[in-house]
Structure 1
Amino acid sequence: MILTGAILSGLVVAVVVLDVLRLRSRASKLRVLAQGAGEHTLLTATGVHPEGSWETEDDLVDLVPRDLPAVAALDLLGAVDPGKYRDDQWARGISASQAVLVRETYREDVDPDDPTEFIAYVRRVKDHVHAKVDIAVAPGLKAGPYDLGYRAAILRRLGKRPSLWIAGSVIGYAAVAAALITNWRWGLVALAAYWAHPILVFAGTPLKPRDLWVPRVVRTPYLWFKTSSGKKSTAELRQAEHLAQATPWYEQNRDRNFHEAPRDTCPSCGSTDLRRWVTATDLVQRKPGTFTMDRCVRCGHVWQNPRLTEEGLGFYYRDFYDGLGETSAEAVFSGKTDPYYGRARMVEPFTKPERWLDVGSGHAHFCLGAKEVLPQTQFDGLDQGAAIEDAARLGRIENSYRGSFKDFAGELKGRYDVISMHHYLEHVRDPWEELDIAADVLPNGGYLLIELPDPEWRLGRLFGQYWMPWFQPQHQHMMPIGNLEHALADRGLTTVATERREAHLCNDFTLALLLWLGDKAPRTPAPWRPEKVRLRRTRSFLVWSLGIPAFFVALALDQTVNRFLAARTGNGNAYRLLARKA
């Protein structure tokens, strides 16, 4: 019992110390604004009292009161590193939801009673490539009342699951209680560390939360209750309205058969020697249906068979990248930025392009990153979704083309030194037609850069439907790199460089676990999935609580086994290929 208490106490102290060091480092980097008058407009939440004025050269500064409540301050520091925030174009906009100073150029009306609207507003401004946005402490600014009813909505706006936060908090609380029960002396050490956590975070920093001395052991269970039974934000109410409006259409189409007749020959080489490779459901949106992928034994091509009809693709793509799924899609594509730089650097030794067209550009995150590597290049984007027009408005690309590549082929012919297709060909019904178009649009001497998931990666077979790159039902074709080289050669393009291990992302174990947990946890309501799960919140809490330890195991496996496999084989879960038109 003594040993158990000592181990539990040691774990609690270690976690507290690491978290204190992380959050305290961030709190100490908060800039303190100087007093003074400026051209900016001050927008405040209800109950916030500004005493004085402040000046800044930035386009927008989110103002943090010194007396911001401890819970709000900890959530803020958990979401942003103030030392990197201003100059990091990938850092998502954040707000303490108290007040902002903003230039007239970017001024909008903000609901003063909804704290999540301040976060959304600051995020919209920071998404502008040329806008300078920062966060700073404003001396003299008195914090308004903090409505804990909005805390769950705030966490969701920050991209976090309230149920997962509660699960982690309960585990920490239970560890302290278990240490006290098994050995009270060691338990007191754990209790002292747990109690002192917020005090150690803020002592000697610009923040002095007004409720810092409220006992954490008392406040935490109250936070569980308030976070689990919170209010809906204005955006979530609009989302619910959108959901209600979309429901009749989904109800009419939910039970339709969207599959074509299965084919008995490989679409790549014509072979009849086929094997069933993957059987999957929609693990991301949880739309109804079962999907299968076959593999050609002769050439290794993997494709959806039977494939979806045009109407079927419309059903499954609707509300994924736009509409109900827009916020989630934006968060995913802005999260992992290394591949964007790697793609641009692959081209750099061969050409310094003046104009680059990115096909299937989406929100144009690649173009935003590639511009750092190739600052003299003009990047344009093409996509069928509305996000491509937003990308041009935000300055990520110069010109946007909304529609199919085929629609704009004549207009774009001969205009671009480089055309790129990153994780695009696997989505289309006929990738060979897209290659025909690219070969025709490229001028002589132009380059085509392609990145695709690698169906030859061994973990894809091991994880089955839970291997994220199978991504049913959206991925139609998975082309081995040898097949792609031959297809390009047939169209007059010579492969000049390939990258396999360099394109690999060590995330297979982690993403497979997340898909599995999401499959077992109850679903959130959606117009294509009427909610029938009883005790949804309780079940979600239990599933994700058990998943937290497994998540750390998955991370460790990705950094050891996954990394070793990539280094040993020279392959990965994706590959890049650069080809030149002779």
Structure 2
Amino acid sequence: MILSVLVVLVVLLDVLRLRSRASKLRVLSQGAGEHSLLTATGVRPEGSWESDADLVDLVPRDLPTVAALDLLGAVDPAKYRDDQWARGVSASQAVLVRDEYKDDVDPDDPTEFVAFVRRVKDHVRARVDIAVAPGLKAGPYDLGYRAATLRQLGKRPSLWIAGSVIGYAAVAAALITNWQWGLVALAAYWAHPVLVFAGTPLRPRDLWVPRFVRTPYLWFRTAGGKKSTAELRQAERLEQATPWYEQNRDKNFHEARRDNCPACGSTDLRRWVTATDLVQRKPGTFTMDRCVRCGHVWQNPRLSEEGLGFYYRDFYDGLGATSAEAVFSGKTEPYYGRARMVEPFTKPERWLDVGSGHAHFCLGAKEVLPQTRFDGLDQGAAIEEAAKLGRIEQSYRGSFKEFAGELKGRYDVISMHHYLEHVRDPWEELDIVADVLPDGGYLLIELPDPEWRLGRLFGKYWMPWFQPQHQHMMPIGNLEHALADRGLTTVATERAKAHLCNDFMLALLLFLGNVAPRTPAPWRPERVRLRRIRSFVVWSLGIPAFFVAMALDQTVNRFLAARTGQGNAYRLLAQKTG
């Protein structure tokens, strides 16, 4: 009985969530507009529609059940249009788009529609919507592309299969242990899609196909799906990148080990972290030492400039660009928090963000400080794309040192968010910013906090150690002294406020990724036997652990931050006083 009640409860909660989203889908009115219509193969547009959006993804009323459920799982229609952080999604049937954003889309590949809508949605000034189009008849739904579509939407097909198997098994177990109550669980399971769509603008054409029959078929079709056009292109890029990595993979990129602290010169050092590259899994072992005297933590021996090039390549740009974009658009509250920290002290006219990457911070900060002009500086190609998308006004691609003369005295505020830990010489960067800032200007810095207790507890699995990219981890007291030596006075600090309660979850992700690597790469040439099966088993068994990790983050992690007043990051605002 308990098992049946749990099944019914889970089904009802999911029904309420998805039904709420389905009922909020707008229905377009008929009419002629200034848009072009792009359709997938087999879709029949019987009529025309109008919209004030620059792009509107058209959802047929008779969209197949599985496609409709996947879509509702990825988008909340009530927030989608006005939420600049919502990633573009598509029902992969048809799109109305203004000519200025029009592009070629492969009508046979549903993932191409998702990618196209996402590109347009990323434009700051583009208005993108999703709505039901009366009269639009859905085309055939190719389940062979379902896994690729899930991946495009940021979901792991293996985890969907694992969760679906667990739910199916729970219903079967309920029937076996107590058939009367089991029938209640089976009825709820079967009725799930009917309850989701009844009375909403969507009326899937295959709604009455028994769910307990369709679901096992979905497992097999999702597990052995086709590669999307984008994935085939990615495979080509992987193949093209392989020779370069083969030539450089076995090089020794480490410089000579130093025997004194780069911050204070002390020779009293302790080995603090030994790690491998747990994110990309490029080869190599890296160590971080801690100075007993001042607490500074740094990579020792550090990577050469050639080595940094090897490990940064294909992380933020190139092969890793899509993943980086997804990560940085996921957590938005820190962007607002940084801007709000400055707001009581100044209303800047011009703000330069150093190490801006894809400029997500500038995108969020503009909401807090709408009158401020934000510019960005970074060495990666993403900074130029950020300017094209309207996230920043001007981009500077290169090192801070290269542009120092050009930038001197031009900005009221300069920020460095999770930047100093990446550079080879953070004290030189502070020298530059102290010279570039005008008198009275402000410097905002955010860094991982090496004094956070969980960092030592989790060892190499604490994400902010982030080897081999993080070169230096500066305690907040050290940074205050370094700034004071350069004529910058600390006016505000935030420690617990800068904390993100995600240490347990991220440590689990790194651990599972280390046990079962998820994706092939040109720097990882070995072919793991039964890789897909091992990955499926490990990540499936990890599902219960994710719930435990989330619970620990919201209890133990949050309690530690509140109790100690510290966290896994800190912010510091300083003013140049001459």
Say yes or no: TM over 0.5. yes
Deviation at residue 523 of structure 1 after TM alignment: 3.9
Q: Which residue of 2 aligns with 1:568?
A: 563
Q: Which residue of 1 aligns with 2:37?
A: 42
Q: Distance in 1 between matches of 2:64 and 2:525?
A: 38
Q: Which residue of 2 aligns with 1:122?
A: 117
Query: 386-395 vs 171-180, which deviates more?
Result: 171-180
Letter in 2 for 1:565: L
Deviation at residue 536 of structure 1 after TM alignment: 1.1
Q: Is residue 2:516 matched to residue 1:521?
A: yes
SS in 2 for 1:444: coil
Q: Which residue of 1 aligns with 2:385?
A: 390
Q: Which residue of 2 aligns with 1:349?
A: 344
Deviation at residue 187 of structure 1 after TM alignment: 1.2
Deviation at residue 143 of structure 1 after TM alignment: 0.2
Alpha-carbon displacement from aligned partner over 1:422-470 (angstroms, at most 9, x marks no partner) = 0000000000000000000000000000000000000000000110000
Q: How does 1:46-445 map to 2 (within 5 A)?
A: 46-445=41-440
Q: Distance in 1 between matches of 2:167 and 2:34?
A: 47
Letter in 2 for 1:384: Q
Alpha-carbon displacement from aligned partner over 1:331-353 (angstroms, at most 9, x marks no partner) = 00000000000000000000000
Match of residue 444, structure 2, among 441, 449, 453: 449
SS in 1 for 2:12: helix
Q: Which residue of 2 aligns with 1:500?
A: 495
Q: Distance in 2 between matches of 1:514 and 1:562?
A: 16
Letter in 1 for 2:570: Y
Letter in 2 for 1:452: L
Q: Distance in 2 between matches of 1:170 and 1:283?
A: 29
Q: Distance in 1 between matches of 2:517 and 2:318?
A: 22
SS in 1 for 2:148: helix
Deviation at residue 532 of structure 1 after TM alignment: 2.1
Q: How many residues align?
A: 577
Q: Distance in 2 between matches of 1:204 and 1:250?
A: 56
Q: Distance in 2 between matches of 1:415 and 1:308?
A: 33
Q: Distance in 2 between matches of 1:306 and 1:181?
A: 60
Q: Is residue 2:502 matched to residue 1:512?
A: no
SS in 2 for 1:167: helix
Q: Which residue of 2 aligns with 1:3?
A: none
Q: Is residue 2:537 matched to residue 1:550?
A: no
Q: Distance in 1 between matches of 2:314 and 2:182?
A: 50
SS in 1 for 2:32: coil
SS in 2 for 1:379: strand
Alpha-carbon displacement from aligned partner over 1:131-178 (angstroms, at most 9, x marks no partner) = 000000000000000100000100110111111111111111111111
Q: Is residue 2:536 matched to residue 1:541?
A: yes
Q: Distance in 1 between matches of 2:38 and 2:169?
A: 41
Q: Distance in 1 between matches of 2:377 and 2:517?
A: 36
Match of residue 8, structure 2, among 4, 13, 21: 13
Q: Distance in 2 between matches of 1:447 and 1:282?
A: 35
Q: Which runs of 5+ in 1 are unaligned?
A: 1-5
SS in 2 for 1:449: strand
Q: Verify the 8 A CA contact 1:500 1:574 in the aligned structure 2.
A: yes
Q: Verify the 8 A CA contact 1:524 1:531 in the aligned structure 2.
A: no
Letter in 2 for 1:193: A
Q: Which runs of 5+ in 2 are unaligned?
A: none
Q: Distance in 2 between matches of 1:163 and 1:254?
A: 30
Alpha-carbon displacement from aligned partner over 1:93-137 (angstroms, at most 9, x marks no partner) = 010000000111111111101100000000000100000000000
Deviation at residue 486 of structure 1 after TM alignment: 0.2
Q: Distance in 2 between matches of 1:80 and 1:380?
A: 31
Q: Which residue of 2 aligns with 1:482?
A: 477
Q: Distance in 1 between matches of 2:113 and 2:129?
A: 14
Deviation at residue 522 of structure 1 after TM alignment: 3.7
Q: Distance in 2 between matches of 1:181 and 1:531?
A: 44
Letter in 1 for 2:574: A
Q: Distance in 1 between matches of 2:192 and 2:444?
A: 50
Letter in 1 for 2:420: L
Letter in 2 for 1:386: A
Letter in 2 for 1:36: G
Q: Distance in 1 between matches of 2:348 and 2:548?
A: 43
Q: Distance in 2 between matches of 1:347 and 1:168?
A: 44
Q: Distance in 2 between matches of 1:437 and 1:522?
A: 40
Alpha-carbon displacement from aligned partner over 1:172-230 (angstroms, at most 9, x marks no partner) = 11111111111111211111111111110000000000010111111111111011100
Deviation at residue 538 of structure 1 after TM alignment: 1.1
Alpha-carbon displacement from aligned partner over 1:260-291 (angstroms, at most 9, x marks no partner) = 11111000000000000001111110111111
Letter in 1 for 2:80: Y
Q: Percent identity?
A: 90
> Deviating runs (4+, > 4 A) in structure 1?
none
Alpha-carbon displacement from aligned partner over 1:28-74 (angstroms, at most 9, x marks no partner) = 00000000011111110000000000001110000000000000000
Q: Distance in 1 between matches of 2:188 and 2:515?
A: 35
Letter in 1 for 2:251: R
Deviation at residue 524 of structure 1 after TM alignment: 2.0
SS in 1 for 2:172: helix
Q: Verify the 8 A CA contact 1:522 1:533 in the aligned structure 2.
A: no
